[in-house]
Every structure is written in C-alpha cells, then in structure tokens.
Structure 1
Amino acid sequence: MKFLITYVKPYTKRMAAGMSIKFAGAIMDLLLPWILAYILDSVIPTGSRQRIYLWGGAMLLCSVMAIVTNIIANRMAARVARDTTKSIRGDLFSKITELSTAQVEEFTVPSLVSRLTTDTYNLHQTVGMIQRLGIRAPILLIGGIFITFSLDPVLTMVLISMVPFTIVLVTMISRKGIPLFVQQQARVDQLVRTVRENIAGARVVKALSKGDYEKKRFAHVNQQLVAAETKANVTMAATPPLMDLLLNLGLTLVVVVSAFRVNNGLTQPGVIVAFLTYFTIILNAMLSITRIFTVFSRGIASAERIAEVIRVPQQLKQVTSGHVSEAYLAFEAVSFHYPSSKETIHDLSFTTARGETLGILGATGSGKSTIAKLLLRLYDPTKGQIVLEGRALQSYAPSELYAKFGVVLQKDVIFADTLRENIAFGRDFSDEVLWEAVKNAQALEFVQQLPGGLDYLLESKGANLSGGQKQRVLLARGMAGHPEVLLLDDSASALDYQTDAKLRQVLATEFASSTKLIIAQRISSIQHADQILLLENGELVGLGDHETLLATNLLYQAIYQGQTGGEALVS
C-alpha cells in the first residue's frame, strides 16, 4: 500500500480537485429524494403549481449538476490513473534493465513481462476506481444514512442494524481474496512463459511434429490459470449476493415497520417514498464499495509484485578501487558458479596485453561463454578478481565499462527496427562509421542489395535474414566505432571459411589497436591469435600460441585432428 501511495502522492492536488467535484455531484444525488419527499408532503397539498414547478426545476438542476460533475470528475480520475501507471511502468522498466542477470533469472522473464503488463494494468484500474467510487460511494452511504436518520430515526436504526454484518462479510472475503489474486498472477506468469517458449521454438515444434503436444501443454497451463481465476473470482463474487441478502432483509424490515408507522400516523407517505429511494442509493453505494474491495484486492496483489522488483537491492555494486595491477586485462584466480549450480570456472588465471588477440577454445560447457559474461560483469566471480586497464572490474560504473566494449554474444538479438538502428543501437554514429562497420563485418555486398540499404526494416530476431546475414549484422554492431575491447563469442559459426578468413584479416589490420577476445568452436578462427586459452570442464588446460599448443598439448592436438584430419589449416 505504501508503494502505491508513493506514486499517487505527486497527483494529490489533482485528486483532491477531482474528489471535491465528485463530492459535489454526490451531494446533488442525495438532494433529489429529499426534494421529492418535500414536494409530496409539503408542496402538493398546498395545490400551488408555481411551487411545484419551482421545486421540480430544482430537481432538474440537481440532476444536471450531478451528471456534469460526475463526468468531469471521472475524466480527471482517468488522467491521474494514466499518469500514475505511466510512472510506475517507467520505473519498473528502468529497474528491470538494471537487474543483474542472476536477478532476472530469479524473477524469470515471463514473470517480469506479466508484472510490466498485467500488474500495471491492475494498478491502473485500482487508482481509477478509488477516485471514481472511493469518494462517491462512501458519501452516498454516509449521507444517505444521515438524511434518512433526519427523516425517520426509527426506520434508519432498522436499516443500520445490517451494517455490522456487511462489514464483517467484506473483511473476511477480502482477506481470502488477496492471496488468491497473488496465486492467479503466478499462473499468468506460467502462461506467458509457455507461450513465449512455444513462439520462440515454433520451428522446432513444427519440425518435430509436436503441435499436438504443445497444445496439450498449453491447455494444461491454461486450465490451471482458469482454476486460479475461478477460485479468486468465485470467492470475491460471493460478496454482492450476500450483501444483497443482508440489505434486502433490512429493506423488508423497513417496509414492515414503516407500514405500522404510517398506519399509526407516525410517518408521512412522502417520507416513506424518499426513504425507499435513499435505501436504493445506500444499496448501490454498498455494492460499489464491494466492487472497490474486489479491484483493490487485485491491485494490492499486483502492487506487491511490482514493489518486489523495484525494491530489490542492486546486486552488482560499484566499489572504490585504485590501481590494482599492471595488467591491461587479467583474470586472477577466478572461480564462478551459477546460482544453484556446481562450479563452472575454477581458479582461472590469464593475462592479455592491450591490442593482443586472445582465442578461447573448448568443448561445449567448458566455460567459454561464462568468461564473456564475467568480463561484461553480467555476473561477479565467486572468487578471485578481474582486472581491466589496471583496475578491478567492480570499480567501473556500468556506462564507463560498457563504453569500452564491442560485443557479439553467442545468443544475440536483432530488433524489429531498421538495419541502421540495429547497428548503431542508440549510439551517435555517422553513416560513414556505419558503412565502415558493415564493410569490416563482410556484410557490404548483401546490405547494398537490400531495398533502402541501412534503412531496410528488419523483423524481430532478424527473421527476414539468413543465419550468415544475421551474424554479419551483429558483427557490424560490435565492430562499429572501433571499441577498445572486441569480444566475439562464437560470432563466426554461421560464416563460410572464406568469409571467416577475410574477417580475421580485418581484425588483424583494422582493429590492431583493439584488444580482441574471440571465443570459437573452430581452430581456424583463432589460429592467428597471440594466445589461445584452452578450457576443459572450467579449468585452464592450455595457454599459448597455435604452434606451441599443437606441439605440446594433447587436447589441442585431438581437437586439431578432429577438425582438419591433420592437414594444415587454411589461413
């Protein structure tokens, strides 16, 4: 609740103005039955048409004012709800971008997506309804009771006798409803996860003819969500009929008592008419309050889920550290394991000088990509230290650190945008720099043939490009601007040997001053590296240039034999 108040606070003046207008409209609604009772009991018996027209005009004026004020107040409430949700959604998105990779994996991507969409929508509904009905309903309820008390205290006490029962009812159901809505949102997360997996793996599903299996899997998850929604909604749906029962019992008692009072001359017929009208107003106000509780319960559940993300502490903190090493780039006894996993890298140490090329080779699961993630500080080592330009990696601000890198990750992403924006990626590069990057990435020939060139619109994940074309676009993004450190994680796997050889020539000549870390599956991609780091099960088992390892390292010799049959590699 405090979380939501924090975001609503900047709009308190606007909310106060809207609620004041809503208050005025509610008063107009309350005046109508009172005027009607006055006309029936005091004006009509006089036979004065002028007074009837006068008080009838007053009723018309109150009706018009009630309609106009409600429309104005509702529009103001909608604007406040919109702006509040916009702020929450913006802060949530910013926080998500700042989460460490481990934190994203802990929350899971589907859960973050549903919090950013479904949960923020629930908060929008909550903020809007609180303003629209949160003032009007209580004013109609309290005002209706107050006016009926002034008309006939005895009948009012009969009606009020039902209020404690309704309060207990709403409280009990609301306490059960909030946890159920939390469970419902968790099922929404699971549904989003299933849909994302199915869409991302659509080709695999079709290739293996697993469409029926995926439909059954979705049906199971969908049924779980339906069950959770049904349980939550059925629980909250019990409120209106039970309240109807209680209030109608009160109405029955009021009618019975009022019949005796009119018969005994203790109450006038006009008062009874007004009283029944006020009872209808009070009944609708109580039903509106139950709607508020239902929406509020869902909103509180969503607010807690959003607050959980926004308030999570920053995991990768910047530390103060001066000059710690003479090395330009070094791993010093680095060990690392993923959450709930065994150690992926153990006691890894190596040094790379500025401008050198370091090739990283190893079997699948040996820890090659983990080195890239640690160097980009997507994770922090569990032991040891990483040094860049003589400073501990943790001492860099994120903007300072990432400005040094040009990166092509193993599972990189192409966005649904122009080729220009996919390469520049928010950086202020001229067309000359972009075309140079395209040329260096060996993508010039196919980019020039695209309609519009750099303005060609790419589909999400580069669906309108071939595998080799996508990889060259990603290479152009990483090479644009000649970064200080060029990190290429299996970035040439979709390239033919000739294109790969041209790319290596460009790296050697055009990027001679950049420090290059090349993670590869093929020895041909790293044979000219100044150093080759050979990994096995997360441990360093070889370090040296191609000739040294080929002469002294049995594992390197085995990989070489497997890839070339013992023949000399083509440079």
Structure 2
Amino acid sequence: MKLRDYVHHKGLLALGTFSKLIEVVLELFVPIFMGIMLDEGVGKQNSKTTYFMLILIGIFSLLGYLSTVFAHFLVARVSQDYAHQLRLALFDKVIDFDHENRSKFSSSSLLNRLNNDVLQTSNALAMTMRIASRAPFLMIGSIVALLITAHKIAVVFMLVLPIVLVLVLFIVMMLIRNNHQLQIENDRMSVIVKENIDGIQSIQAFVQSDYELNRFNKKQSTIVKLQRKLSNISSLGSPLVSAILNVSLVLMIYMAGISINIGDMTQGQVISMINYTTNLILSVLGIFNLMLLYARTITANARIRAVLTLENKENSNELLKDKIKEIEFKNVSYHYPDQSDFLKNVSFTVKENEIIGILGLTGSGKSTILKLVNRLIEPVDGTVLFNRIDYKNYSKESIKEKVGFIDQKNMLLMGTVRSNLSMNKTYKDEALMEALKLAAFELPQSELDREVLKDGANFSGGQRQRLNIARALIRKPDVIIMDDSLASLDNHTQNTIKNNVKKLAQKPIIFIAASRLNTLAIADRIMVVKNGLVEAIGTMEELKETSNTFNKIYQSQVEIAEVK
C-alpha cells in the first residue's frame, strides 16, 4: 500500500487543487486590468475606464481571496485526516509486529516515526496543496502572459530560469543526503534519553551522571553540526536564487525603459511585465521552498514505508478450539538475528496437568523455550506440536488466548487494577477477586478501580508481579507460563502461589522457569538447559544422577542455605 492511499478525501484534494487554480487565473487577470487602467484610463484621462478597471481589480482580488480561504480550509481537512490515517496504520502495524520485526527498530525510533515523520509528511501534503497546486500554474501563466506582453525582454528570464532550476536541484540533493543522517542521529539521541530516564536510579547509584551527560552532549553536538549544515544550505540557497531572479528583473526593467523611450512599449505594458515577472519570481521561490520541504519529506516517507512494508511471518486463520492437552517439541532450534544457533535440537513432551520446571543459568535459553511455547517467536528448525498438530496451523491470536504468559518483567498499563486484570474483557468482580486471591494479592473489592500509574509506579515490585500473575490466571488458560516470575517474591508468597496454581480446576500444563531450585519444588519434572541444549529431563532425584549442571546448581544453593 502506497502512502498516497492513506489520503481518503481525494475528492476534497481535487477540489482544493481546483480552487488554487481558480485563484491563479483570477490573479493573472489583475496585471492586465492594471495595464489597461494605466494606458486607456489614466493615460487618456478616461475616468469611466479607470473606475471600471478598479472595480474589476477589486472583484477579482476578492474572489481570489475567497478561493484561497476555501482552498486552505480543504488543505487542513485533507492533511490532518491523512496524518490521522497514517499514524493509525503505523500504530496498528507496530502492535502487530512479531518478535523478529520488533527487533529491527528501537522504541525511540518508532516514536519518532509515529510523531515527527508523520507530521513532516502531512505538512508536505498541506504545502503541496497550497504551493504545488498554485506555483506551477502561476509560473506557466506568468510566462505565457510575459511572452505576450514583452516577448523580446522575456528572453532574459527564459535564459536565467534553467540555471535556477539546476541550482535548486543541486541544493535539494545535498539536503536529502544530510537530512537522512540527521534522522538517524535523532533516533540515537532518543535512545540515550530514554535509557537515562528509565535507568535514572542505576545511573545515580553508580555516580554515572557526568558520563551520561558527556555522552548526551557528544550526540547533541553531532546533531547541532548537521542541523547547522542543513540550515546553511537552505539559508544560502534561497537568497542566492532570489538574487539571481531579481537581478534578471532589474535587467528587464532597464531594457523596458529603453523600449518605452523608442516607443516599443507603453507604461501599462511595463507595469504588467513587472507584475508578471514578480509573480514568476514568487512562484519559482515557492517551488524552491517546496523542494526544500520535499528533501526532508523524502527521508520521512522512506522511514514510514520501512515500517509499513514489513510483513510478519505467515499466520493461519484457523482457530485453536480444543483444549491443549499435550505440547511436544521435536528437534526445535532457534537463533536470534545476527547470531548463530542459540537453541539447538530441543525435544520434549509435556501433558495436561503436568508441571515442568526449566532450570538453567542466565542466558542458557530458558526464556527462549517459553517464548516458543507461546509463539512469540517461531522455530528456525523443527516443530512445536499442540495436541500432535503443528501449532503453525493455528492463528497466533487463538494460541495466545489459551496460554497465560507471565513475564519476568512487571508490565502494567496506565488505567486501573480492573482494566489491567481484564485486558479489555468483561469479568465479574468475584472472578477478579478470585484471581487476586490465587496470586496472593490482598486487595479490597472496593479498590478494583484504584488508579494504576505509568509502569505501575504506585505499586511495589512484588505487587506489580502478583497483578501480572492474577492477570494470566483470570483467563483460566490451558497453559500457564511463568518465566522467572516468582523471583521478586518472598518464599512464603511463592509457596502460596505455587500451591494455588497446582490446585487449579482446569488442570493446565504449567511451565516454570527459574534459577533457584526451591522455586521448582512443585515441578513433576525439571528440564536442565545449558548453552541452548537440553542436558537432561527428570525428577530432582533422577537429575542428581544424570546432570552435572543440576548438581553444580544444587550444591551452590545448598551451601548458601547452610551458611544462612
């Protein structure tokens, strides 16, 4: 889909262009009336012709003004709707990105594209309707009228015009190249700002404020240099073009003076020539400024298209209707972009009402396995089967409806406790309170509508984590995934939640990933993961005999417990 397809009011766009054309036609008649008024009215002391021409000039000026106002009203309507539709399409595309596409853009870059780039391209559309629909008509009309009025003198301008157009093209090419680099640097600076705002406590704790200030200053200096360069190119270009055109106008007036003296031209013709030449200069300068705007817009459009043209991997429309009673990994491998194989030939089977723990050191591949279960990512090789059917045969949305995913990040959205638990679904208060009870979160029913600030800033870390757990449990999913989601909780709260989850009536398949053995005590089996490989699967007693990694973790944690 091309960007112009997001212009929904094409009829209004055409009407606005037509209104600007009417404005140009009316404007082109004014110098003619002025010439007639001077030659036939004032020159021959004919007051009737003078007043008549004055009336015509007034009427045509008023009609031109009304046409301009109407056109600008349409410009605002079309350009703002275009910005709305484009921003909506971008946001819809971003929230539907799969993991692979999401990793191609930083959040700061996406924010800049949604805001700055959309604003840039909508402004370009507005200026196109205001200038591009007017300036070419005015330029062509002025050239024709100039050739009719003073064809000999008009040759001067015809010789200068190609030189000006070549100069404009050269300036625009320089601007496009530098503006592309400026947008890249702006994205990088936004990343620095976001990192510092999100990690302000760590920065202050490790006394890194001066270092971060210096890093920001270096990036800001780079951006200022690029902006200064762009400003210099733009500011030098416009006066240079204007000077060339005005010098040509002075030369034309000098030649017109000679023509008047020898009787080849009248004063009215000279006034018309000056007016048409002025209109021609203004139209050329308008086109020049529009080209400067297009130089920035080309970069913005390319950045927007880079998002809109990305496609997720093929997704089936078939719904997963049956309960998930078995999950099987068959020789599953996965690697992240620009990496070699991270997860290699993983195979296991887990059945209904089974709790399987995943144990491993940081970076071993625990979270990657769980993301594959939830189809946040998909295998590079091998197959994941739900009820002995490849889960790619089902839509991602229907899979996620049956899987309760509890991430290690305590993600809450601005709103209320109720809105964060229900996630745009409708639940009775009793169901919400039951989910909170399962997550060991004691909250009076009267506080279900308690406000949740950005990132849950008005809740503690443990409270945020339990709200995340309650949000997953309220859906009564067939599969529950707990990705190190109990780590921020004390042992008593952990045990309460684990016991509650184990007794769930729907008998779900439960995955619990952790680095601590006591978190996995309720697991029927434990899968030990090391460097992307499944080293062993079994009970704790079995793993003591078969897994070196398990024994190392076991010994280290036993020693810590003994010290305590």
Task: Please indicate the TM-score interval, normalised by the length of the shorter structure.
Answer: over 0.9
In structure 2, give the amino acid aligned to 1:61: I
Per-residue deviation, residues 348-404 of structure 1 (Å, max 9, x unmatched): 211100121111111111111111111222222222211122221222211111111
TM-score normalised by length of structure 2: 0.94
Which of 39, 44, 58 lines up with 1:41 in the alignment? Answer: 39
Which of 139, 142, 151 lines up with 1:141 in the alignment? Answer: 139
Cross-structure match for 2:150: 152
**What is the alpha-carbon distance in structure 2 between the residues aligned to residue 29 and residue 412 of structure 1?**
64
Cross-structure match for 1:524: 518
Residues 528 and 546 in structure 1, CA contact (< 8 A), matched pair in contact too:
no
Quote how far apart the aligned CAs of 1:321 are.
13
In structure 1, give the amino acid aligned to 2:483: D
Which of 501, 504, 522 lines up with 1:507 in the alignment? Answer: 501
Residues 318 and 395 in structure 2, CA contact (< 8 A), matched pair in contact too:
no
Residue range with higher mean Cα deviation, 67-76 or 21-30: 21-30
Residues 22 and 67 in structure 2, CA contact (< 8 A), matched pair in contact too:
yes
Query: Is it true that 1:330 corresponds to 2:324 in the alignment?
Result: no
Query: Is it true that 1:474 corresponds to 2:468 in the alignment?
Result: yes
The 5 Å alignment of 1:342-421 reads: 342-421=340-419
Which of 474, 479, 485 lines up with 2:479 in the alignment? Answer: 485
Per-residue deviation, residues 28-57 of structure 1 (Å, max 9, x unmatched): 222222211211111123434344333222
In structure 1, give the amino acid aligned to 2:534: L
**What is the alpha-carbon distance in structure 2 between the residues aligned to residue 485 and residue 534 of structure 1?**
20
Quote how far apart the aligned CAs of 1:562 are.
2.9
Cross-structure match for 1:556: 550
Residues 369 and 410 in structure 1, CA contact (< 8 A), matched pair in contact too:
no
**What is the alpha-carbon distance in structure 2 between the residues aligned to residue 511 and residue 362 of structure 1?**
30
**What is the alpha-carbon distance in structure 1 between the residues aligned to residue 546 and residue 49 of structure 2?**
114
**What is the alpha-carbon distance in structure 1 between the residues aligned to residue 342 and residue 81 of structure 2?**
46
Quote how far apart the aligned CAs of 1:521 are.
2.4
Quote how far apart the aligned CAs of 1:293 are.
0.5
Cross-structure match for 2:255: 257
Cross-structure match for 1:453: 447
Query: Is it true that 1:181 corresponds to 2:179 in the alignment?
Result: yes
Cross-structure match for 2:426: 428
**What is the alpha-carbon distance in structure 2 between the residues aligned to residue 207 and residue 184 of structure 1?**
33
Residues 408 and 491 in structure 1, CA contact (< 8 A), matched pair in contact too:
yes
Residues 361 and 520 in structure 1, CA contact (< 8 A), matched pair in contact too:
yes
**What is the alpha-carbon distance in structure 1 between the residues aligned to residue 85 and residue 232 of structure 2?**
32
Residues 408 and 487 in structure 1, CA contact (< 8 A), matched pair in contact too:
yes
Residue range with higher mean Cα deviation, 548-557 or 383-392: 548-557
Quote how far apart the aligned CAs of 1:511 are.
4.9
Cross-structure match for 1:544: 538
**What is the alpha-carbon distance in structure 2 between the residues aligned to residue 484 and residue 320 of structure 1?**
18
Which of 63, 67, 70 lines up with 1:69 in the alignment? Answer: 67
Which of 129, 133, 140 lines up with 1:131 in the alignment? Answer: 129
The 5 Å alignment of 1:6-405 reads: 6-8=5-7, 10-315=8-313, 317-318=315-316, 328-405=326-403
Per-residue deviation, residues 465-484 of structure 1 (Å, max 9, x unmatched): 11101101111111112111
In structure 1, give the amino acid aligned to 2:409: K
**What is the alpha-carbon distance in structure 1 between the residues aligned to residue 317 and residue 384 of structure 2?**
13
Query: Is it true that 1:4 corresponds to 2:6 in the alignment?
Result: no
In structure 2, give the amino acid aligned to 1:52: T
Quote how far apart the aligned CAs of 1:320 are.
9.2
Quote how far apart the aligned CAs of 1:190 are.
0.9
**What is the alpha-carbon distance in structure 2 between the residues aligned to residue 254 and residue 519 of structure 1?**
83
In structure 1, give the amino acid aligned to 2:230: A
In structure 2, give the amino acid aligned to 1:503: I
Residue range with higher mean Cα deviation, 508-517 or 211-220: 508-517
Per-residue deviation, residues 131-163 of structure 1 (Å, max 9, x unmatched): 011111112211122222222212222222211
Per-residue deviation, residues 166-224 of structure 1 (Å, max 9, x unmatched): 12112222233222222221112111111111111111111112112111111111122
**What is the alpha-carbon distance in structure 1 between the residues aligned to residue 294 and residue 549 of structure 2?**
63
Name the SS of the counterpart of 1:338 in structure 2.
coil
Residues 367 and 483 in structure 2, CA contact (< 8 A), matched pair in contact too:
yes
Quote how far apart the aligned CAs of 1:245 are.
2.3
Residues 187 and 228 in structure 1, CA contact (< 8 A), matched pair in contact too:
no
Cα gap change, 1:102 to 1:421, in 2 (>3 Å): same
Give the paired residue count.
Answer: 560
**What is the alpha-carbon distance in structure 2 between the residues aligned to residue 118 and residue 300 of structure 1?**
13
Cross-structure match for 1:535: 529
In structure 2, give the amino acid aligned to 1:122: Q
Per-residue deviation, residues 496-554 of structure 1 (Å, max 9, x unmatched): 11111110111011255111111122222221111111112222223122343356545
**What is the alpha-carbon distance in structure 1 between the residues aligned to residue 118 and residue 66 of structure 2?**
30
In structure 2, give the amino acid aligned to 1:6: D
**What is the alpha-carbon distance in structure 1 between the residues aligned to residue 222 and residue 538 of structure 2?**
56
Cα gap change, 1:179 to 1:91, in 2 (>3 Å): same
Quote how far apart the aligned CAs of 1:130 are.
0.4
Quote how far apart the aligned CAs of 1:463 are.
1.3
Cα gap change, 1:553 to 1:161, in 2 (>3 Å): closer
Residues 433 and 481 in structure 1, CA contact (< 8 A), matched pair in contact too:
no
**What is the alpha-carbon distance in structure 2 between the residues aligned to residue 4 and residue 370 of structure 1?**
36
Residues 321 and 392 in structure 1, CA contact (< 8 A), matched pair in contact too:
no
Quote how far apart the aligned CAs of 1:566 are.
8.9
**What is the alpha-carbon distance in structure 1 between the residues aligned to residue 233 and residue 389 of structure 2?**
59
Q: Which runs of 5+ in 2 are unaligned?
A: none
Quote how far apart the aligned CAs of 1:317 are.
4.5
**What is the alpha-carbon distance in structure 1 between the residues aligned to residue 144 and residue 325 of structure 2?**
81
Q: Percent identity?
A: 28
TM-score normalised by length of structure 1: 0.93
**What is the alpha-carbon distance in structure 1 between the residues aligned to residue 434 and residue 421 of structure 2?**
11
Cα gap change, 1:26 to 1:319, in 2 (>3 Å): closer
Residues 549 and 556 in structure 1, CA contact (< 8 A), matched pair in contact too:
yes
Quote how far apart the aligned CAs of 1:230 are.
2.8
